[in-house]
Amino acid sequence: MLRDRIALPPNQIQSHVSSLLAAYAGAQVLFSFPVGIIADRLSARRTPFLLGLLALLAATLMLGLGQSVAVLAFARLSQGLSAAVVWTVGFILVLDTVGPENLGKTIGSIFGFISTGGLMAPVLGGVVYEKAGYGGVFGMSFAILAVDFLLRLLLIEKKVAAQWQPSASSPSSPSSSVEWDNECQHQGEGTVGPSEDAREDDSLLGREEDLSSFKIPEGRYRWAEGVPILYCFQNPRLLIAQLVALIQAVLFAAFDATVPTEAQELFGFNSLNAGLLFIALVLPYLLLGPVAGWAVDRFGTKTVSVVGFGYLVPVLVLLRWVRPGGTTQITLYCVFLALCGVGLGIIGPISIVESSQVVRLYERANPGLFGANGPYAQLYGIGSMVFSLGLTIGPLISGGLKDWIGYGNMNSVVAAFCAVTAFLSYVFIGGKSKALKKI
């Protein structure tokens, strides 16, 4: 597009491509938190969800018709804004709909589809472009947007549906879910859930002691009065949960940035053949996402996080053993990528589930402080910011390391990131571990 339509000289194309990619990621980083603040103050989630799609529709139209770099840059900024709205409002809709007891497996499934779309879209776009040109690519995009718009029109929020069922009990929501209250009391330690006897024996005093560390002192932290969720980030559990999201995005972006170039160097693959390698990476992620989410709901965030990041350490190191060659080496590379896909699937739901549990504890300890709808849209907006930041710096880190120390050593450094994250998860995710409590 930059070469054929805008007629940029070849030596300027790479820099402009990077700038357009950065415009999208930067807009998502900048707008995610403000979108969350606004969404928490709205009674309906469906309206901003539809507005986000309209912004994407307008941005895609500008991208398809733009005749200057400035128009293309504005289109990418609009796409980033739309992504911020969809990501933030979408996750709070998920939480409102499925409730906390099913959040893990639902988020695991969602991240499987997100990874599939993100990694396979360049391949599909390249194939369509080769066969039908720009018209085919944007025609496919508008067709997908039309289906998306129809599905959003059909969306009925749970609290709206409850109005037509006066005899039904109140819908499960972030601010009223008793089940999540019980789950959060166990701090993600891997407890399946409190038994009936445990619930009966659990005194009010014990519950208050559990919440005492989550109480925000009145007047002590005036800097957070306008946006009290910022105070929650003094809790190390919430900070490490965001680190998990950051490393997850860095891993995702690292594969996206280095697999095509490494496949070209090792096997002489063109862009289409290199893109097909992502099937080996994405398929395990897609299949294991719901399983990993179930494991989070069943065993807790700490166990799954430590296992997932710990598993990725040796698997990423294995990538250094792939050599130039024929079918045998290509098969070996696909196997190693599939093993990495398993790890990506395991760590998918951890950040959102852990963050939601921590903020729920703050909401219980400080009734009314976060408003009627709670601070969950703000929380997911911040999560979107962190994830977008990881997608932005991931290619820079992995690409720079690959050029500096080679592909194998680059993956060893990324494996070290995972090892550190596994250790921090053991210490902080889900609350202090039982072993550390004895120290």
**Contacts of 362 by beta carbon, 8 Å cutoff, 6+ apart:** 214, 216, 231, 232, 235, 370
DSSP symbol at 375: S
Gap between the Cα atoms of 240 and 309, Å rounded = 13
Closest CA to 269 of 126, 121, 412: 126
Question: What pLDDT sits at residue 203?
Answer: 34
Question: What pLDDT sits at residue 221?
Answer: 64
Side-chain half-sphere of 218: how many Cα atoms within 13 Å? 5
| Tokens matching residue 255 | 């594969």
Distance of CA 46 to the CA centre of its chain: 21
Maximum pairwise Cα distance, the chain:
74
Q: DSSP labels for 256-317?
A: HHHHHHHHHHHH---HHHHHHTHHHHHHHHHHHHHHHHHHHHHH-HHHHHHHHHHHHHHHHH
The model's pLDDT over 169-228, given as tens digits with 9 standing for 90+, comes to 444 444 444 444 555 544 444 444 444 443 333 333 334 446 777 887 776 666 666 777
Residues in the chain, total: 439
pTM: 0.77
**Contacts of 407 by beta carbon, 8 Å cutoff, 6+ apart:** 258, 262, 319, 320
Question: What pLDDT sits at residue 192?
Answer: 42
The model's pLDDT over 71-100, given as tens digits with 9 standing for 90+, comes to 888 888 888 888 888 878 887 788 777 776
Gap between the Cα atoms of 169 and 176, Å rounded = 11
Q: Is 10 exposed, middle or buried (0-12, 13-18, 19+ CB in 10 A)?
A: exposed
In this predicted model, which residue has the larger pLDDT, 48 or 353?
353
